[in-house]
Structure 1
Amino acid sequence: TPPPTPVYIEHPGRMEVGSYYSHILGREMVYRIYLPPGYDVESHTYPVLYLLHGHPFDEQHWDRLGVDETAEAGIRSGAYPPFLVVMPNGDPSPEGLYVSTSGGDHSVEGLIVNELIPHIDRTYRTWARREGRAIGGISRGGVWSLEIGFRHPELFAAVGAHSAALSVNYPHPLYDPYTLATDPAAASLRIWLDAGDVDWARAGVERLHQVLEEHGVAHEYVIGEGDHTNAYWSRMLPAYLAFYAAGWPRASR
């Protein structure tokens, strides 16, 4: 393992809180963002990983799992190239968009695609192309990441779904990951699916795996040891980040 470069030692990564105005909701929406080591002194652009929380959690979910510490360690060791991690609030109240909608402009899809991504690209030094974006999520957030990623392969190169709550998801066919997975456009994405071996979400994830298999869509499929819990997702973080980071070059852009 190579030693950390001086710039990484002198300028470590950090977590920040930001917000953007949502015209969909008519209010400010909060997000957390991890800025990698060296961000403040480098001049190049960075890939962006959008990570969606589970329900009933919020934008702090991934932070509490340790995503910034895992990313920082991987970047410093040379295992991952530097990248940004954006963790938005998905409006998770019982009547909010996170659970009361399943897709389209007036939903979490609209928040991410039409409002958050343009804000992030304006505000930070992002690699603002599909090759520089990935999206993933946990549980309900995993359903959203699949819906958004499958419907917008022009925006994302990779999509990950971690214990996606597909077995309790009843969307319109336009927004159904099982249906969207059969679209030829899905084959342009790098796809990761996982669940714990005793996770109630496992059956729904296995079904999506089978749909992708039947349509010849390449994807990663992992059944880990664990349940539908923060302990499982925290333990899987290095594998998750390795998957997303594998799509990005190490050279500056």
Structure 2
Amino acid sequence: MKAIWKIFSLLLLLPGLSFAQAKVDTIKVFSNAMNKELKAAVTTPSTYDGSQRFATLYLLHGGSGAFSDWHQKVTEPGLVNRLAEQYNLIIVTPGVGPSSYYFDSPTMDSVKYETYIIKELIPHIDQNYATLAKRESRAITGLSMGGHGAIMLSAKHPELFVAAGSMSGVMNIDTRMWKVPAEFSKLRTTQQKAMLGEDIQYDAPFTTYTAVGLVDRMKENGTALIIDVGVDDFLIDTNRQMHDMLLENGTPHTYIERPGAHTWEYWTDALPVHLLFLDHYLARE
């Protein structure tokens, strides 16, 4: 009994061993652009008490995913909470359509996710949470389709994001570059044509509905970029293409290839690396 009491007393004396925990809110945001309600999870650190304002990270899910994926599917339980606590920032994980790529479709009113994220969700978060509502204090990253969304949205809206990242991202929506079965490739191409029209420009010069079509804007914007992908990922060729194009036009960026595939094990390991990179650019009060 004395030994247990000594251990408990030691824990009380060590400030580094805190039992404080981040908090997760599930919210609903109505999209006027799409006339529907969407969910998001908002993680706030234990220091969130109204006495200060916080930098914000928007963390995007992949295709056929959900707003809760980053909380429920990572192989380290509570990873998002731990990182919100460690870096003392707000982390927002929004939910979008299953294969929407985070863009605004010119043909479908139900796919206006660029407008939703930029003009509806971010203002909602800034109005309802104690954020530092400025470019210097906002970053965005995501996995797979969410990597495409993060790179595309940051390239098109540099006034909103100081830094952006992609984990195993769809850097080019051209499924001919994906190492996938023909049936899957055909399905995704059919979905893309429904959203973008039959005359999608898959070859150079690329459409601006795909991340590689925005490399010139990335050079102009000065947004800090991190792109990583596993060497066994079916999207690796699209990431190498993006890397080569950024090198060719002289856009500073961090590019990483490491062991791994298109898996939650990979993304669980990747997210702390992204936070370490992104936090370097996020301004605090």
Q: TM-score band, normalised by the shorter chain?
A: 0.7 to 0.9
CA contact (8 A) 2:231 2:257 kept: yes
Shift of residue 75 of structure 1? 6.2
Structure 2 counterpart of 1:87 = 93
Structure 2 counterpart of 1:196 = 230
CA contact (8 A) 1:46 1:84 kept: yes
Structure 2 counterpart of 1:139 = 144
Alpha-carbon spacing, 1:102–1:12, altered in 2? closer, same or farther (3 Å):
same
CA contact (8 A) 1:162 1:195 kept: yes
Summarize deviations over 1:188-217 as a string: whole Å, max 9, x none: 100010100111111100100111111111
The whole-number CA distance in structure 2 between the counterparts of 1:100 and 1:121 is 20
Shift of residue 165 of structure 1? 1.7
CA contact (8 A) 2:43 2:81 kept: no
Alpha-carbon spacing, 1:185–1:219, altered in 2? closer, same or farther (3 Å):
closer
- Does 2:29 match 1:23? no
Which one of the candidate residues 69, 73, 77 is aligned to 2:78? Answer: 69
- Does 2:126 match 1:117? no
- Does 2:49 match 1:49? no
> Helix, strand or coil for the counterpart of 1:32?
strand
Largest Rg, 1 or 2: 2
State the TM-score, normalizing by the size of structure 2.
Answer: 0.76
Structure 2 counterpart of 1:58 = 66
Summarize deviations over 1:39-93 as a string: whole Å, max 9, x none: 12x51110110011011111011112268833554566xxx5311100001122x
The whole-number CA distance in structure 1 between the counterparts of 2:24 and 2:41 is 7
Which one of the candidate residues 206, 224, 239 is aligned to 2:240? Answer: 206
Q: Percent identity?
A: 28
Structure 1 counterpart of 2:266 = 232
CA contact (8 A) 2:22 2:82 kept: no
Unaligned runs of 5+ in 1: none
> Helix, strand or coil for the counterpart of 2:255?
strand
Structure 2 counterpart of 1:178 = 212
Unaligned runs of 5+ in 2: 1-13, 175-191, 193-199, 202-206
Shift of residue 107 of structure 1? 2.1
CA contact (8 A) 1:12 1:38 kept: no
The whole-number CA distance in structure 2 between the counterparts of 1:102 and 1:71 is 28
Moved more, 206-215 or 58-67: 58-67
> Helix, strand or coil for the counterpart of 1:174?
coil
The whole-number CA distance in structure 1 between the counterparts of 2:77 and 2:44 is 9
The whole-number CA distance in structure 2 between the counterparts of 1:25 and 1:184 is 28
Structure 1 counterpart of 2:22 = 13
CA contact (8 A) 1:49 1:83 kept: yes
Summarize deviations over 1:174-195 as a string: whole Å, max 9, x none: 3332121112654410001010
Moved more, 172-181 or 113-122: 172-181
Shift of residue 240 of structure 1? 1.6
